[in-house]
Structure 1
Amino acid sequence: MEQLNSTVVTTISSSSPGHPPPSSQDFRALVTVVVLSLCSILGIPGNIAVIILRPNWQQMSSLSQSLMLNLAVADLLNLITLPLWIHAFLHGWSFGLLACKLISYLIYCCIHCCLLTVIALSLQRYLQVVHGKKWFQQRGQKRLLALLWLVAIILSIPVLVDRQIISVRNLPQCESVYSSLTEQVALLLEETVMGIVSVSVVVFAYIRLKRKVDRAALFNNPQTTCLITSIIVTFFIFWVPFLIVNMLGLAAIFSKNEKLMKFCTDKKSIFRALVFLNSSLDPFLYAFASRNFCTACLKQEHKNNCSTSQEI
């Protein structure tokens, strides 16, 4: 158990027995750096454009606007840290322990807030289009956003404790170092449950929304169907591999499988980079292409008003 614990709790350096050769490590580091660089190039300008231009938002509800602006801000805060991580992958972490903890904490806060915002946005669109219900007045919207950030801040607190500077590939890196397997399992479970809930809500909400679009002649729009499919597939592709690695890590801990744990440790950085790529694509999926949802919402609202008038 102690041997497995040492494998799980710390990241193994390149000089450890049985560790993959440096060329394999260099390839993984290169892939991670390329993905993170792509995220910076696409995501930072994209989210800035969303915050400044707010495209296609004129016909949206105030709640939709608030949620998408919150998503863009959280994504942008997440992505502006990428140059530091790219530098760390190439040259090692040279910014000190305090920066390691605080920047990691900021990233986890933003990721949790993004997930919670996507959940709220999916449910809001589902309720407004499928059931014709609206959420919250202005004061309620501010409370909702404050609640999202509060939950994200609380869920991210363990990062302040477990982030340490350790040697990886003979370079100092900012990584998680767990004091016990119990702590490791608890954090993996929290990440996994949060991810599974997010994916499930997004898939459920948009599949139901798509069925509503397909059934109603007023909403019959191939572009809307394509957008809904893109949101589901993109969210699924970028989050499910990360969740699978987490679940494999849990299986490795419980089965005391060192080989499986080493695989999870080695591959997690690549799948974590995909999460950043999802943040880069958010503005294009949720903001720039939202006019189709606006049209659907307006038509549903008009239909509900007509039905109410006929009943009266």
Structure 2
Amino acid sequence: VPLPGKASLDYYRNASVVPPLEGSPGNGTEPLCDRRQVRQFARAFLPLLFWLIFCVGTVGNTLVVLVCCKYRLRRSTTDRYLLHLAVADLLLLLSLPFWAKAAADGWVFRSLMCKVVNSMYKINFYGCSLFLTCISFDRYITIVQAVKVRTSQRRRLLHSRLVCLAVWLTSVSLCIPEIMYSRSVRVGDTTVCKIMYPTNVSMTSRVTVLALRVTVGFFLALLVMVICYALIIKTLLKAKRSQKQKSLKIITMIITAFLLSQFPYNIVLVAKAIGTYAR
């Protein structure tokens, strides 16, 4: 179950009010951008949204795990990727109650819990994206390279285990800054959980981390998905199958869901990387 990007979690990390600029229109006594009403609305809306996603997502992904475990002997490579995707979703969902509490009352937990929750969220966020990519590539092999699949099924099952391990290691590697530098800090009148880089970490290193996340976690994943599904669609259009239209609709829905859940957050990362590099 793809989840919304984390951009919505970052709104409350800056509780300051932007002062008016000199020469700006108006009487000069009102702030240029007063965020109090926005924060008040977010404190009421975001906890409900996070809890709703947590409840619906937990039920759905738990059912996926139970079904995959029940039919373990019949499990294919796609089923294995789906199982790991569901586990990643569940671990990601477990962090939402903490963010719901933080959105309402600020971060009330310790810095150690900040490291755990922030790291768990990000690791599984990127894990979900990469497992969706693995599923799209496996569908390409199954549909487009159907002849090879019959002769290398056992080898593909073995390779899928290594791929799952590589995905988890990659996700952890992308989130090393959260593991090392996440802590609770005071911002204005609110305590928040965020990354606080030490002064000896250069801007170049920070931009490189952001660039790697966007490249591996979004653009590379999107490129693989588009290529694989484009080739699958080409194969389906040539085939005379009654389920062809249904398959095309499912592919369209998968790509659309991926873009809606990943695009906003990664665009924020791109803007952040550009802003950091321009300083």
**Inter-CA distance 244–57: structure 2 relative to 1 (3 Å threshold):** farther
Q: Where do residues 155-174 of structure 1 align in structure 2 (5 Å cutoff)?
A: 155-168=174-187, 170-174=189-193
* Alignment correspondent of 1:193: 215
The correspondence for 2:206, drawn from 184, 200, 206, is 184
CA distance in 1, matches of 2:235, 2:108: 53
Q: Does 1:67 align with 2:81?
A: yes
Q: Does 1:117 align with 2:131?
A: yes
Aligned-residue sequence identity (percent) comes to 24
CA distance in 2, matches of 1:163, 1:20: 28
Letter in 2 for 1:52: L
Q: Structure 1 residue 188: deviation in Å?
A: 1.7
Q: Does 1:204 align with 2:218?
A: no
Q: Does 1:95 align with 2:109?
A: yes
> Do the aligned residues in 1 keep the contact of 2:119 with 2:179 (CA within 8 Å)?
yes
* Alignment correspondent of 1:228: 251
Q: Does 1:12 align with 2:26?
A: no
CA distance in 2, matches of 1:161, 1:217: 54
SS of 2:46's equivalent?
helix
* Alignment correspondent of 1:218: 241
> Do the aligned residues in 2 keep the contact of 1:214 with 1:220 (CA within 8 Å)?
no
Letter in 2 for 1:157: I
SS of 2:241's equivalent?
helix
Q: Structure 1 residue 26: deviation in Å?
A: 2.6
Q: Structure 1 residue 160: deviation in Å?
A: 1.5
> Do the aligned residues in 2 keep the contact of 1:37 with 1:86 (CA within 8 Å)?
yes
Q: Does 1:150 align with 2:169?
A: yes
Q: Structure 1 residue 130: deviation in Å?
A: 1.1
Point out the more displaced range, 71-80 or 99-108.
Answer: 99-108
TM-score (norm 2): 0.78
**Inter-CA distance 255–182: structure 2 relative to 1 (3 Å threshold):** closer
RMSD: 2.7
**Inter-CA distance 154–127: structure 2 relative to 1 (3 Å threshold):** same
Q: Where do residues 232-311 of structure 1 align in structure 2 (5 Å cutoff)?
A: 232-256=255-279
SS of 1:172's equivalent?
strand
Point out the more displaced range, 183-192 or 44-53.
Answer: 183-192
The correspondence for 1:80, drawn from 94, 98, 101, is 94
TM-score (norm 1): 0.71
Point out the more displaced range, 103-112 or 217-226.
Answer: 217-226
Q: List gaps (5 residues or longer) in structure 2.
A: 1-12, 21-32
Q: Structure 1 residue 54: deviation in Å?
A: 3.7
Post-superposition CA distance 1:44-103 (Å, at most 9, x none): 100001111249979976211111101001111110121111011111212200010022
CA distance in 2, matches of 1:241, 1:22: 24
Post-superposition CA distance 1:90-137 (Å, at most 9, x none): 112122000100221122221222222111111111121012233634
**Inter-CA distance 61–129: structure 2 relative to 1 (3 Å threshold):** farther
* Alignment correspondent of 1:292: none
SS of 2:186's equivalent?
strand
Aligned length: 247
* Alignment correspondent of 1:8: none
CA distance in 2, matches of 1:36, 1:80: 10
* Higher relative contact order structure (alpha carbons within 8 Å, sequence separation ≥ 6): 1
SS of 1:13's equivalent?
coil
CA distance in 2, matches of 1:31, 1:200: 34
Point out the more displaced range, 214-223 or 135-144.
Answer: 135-144
> Do the aligned residues in 1 keep the contact of 2:115 with 2:178 (CA within 8 Å)?
yes
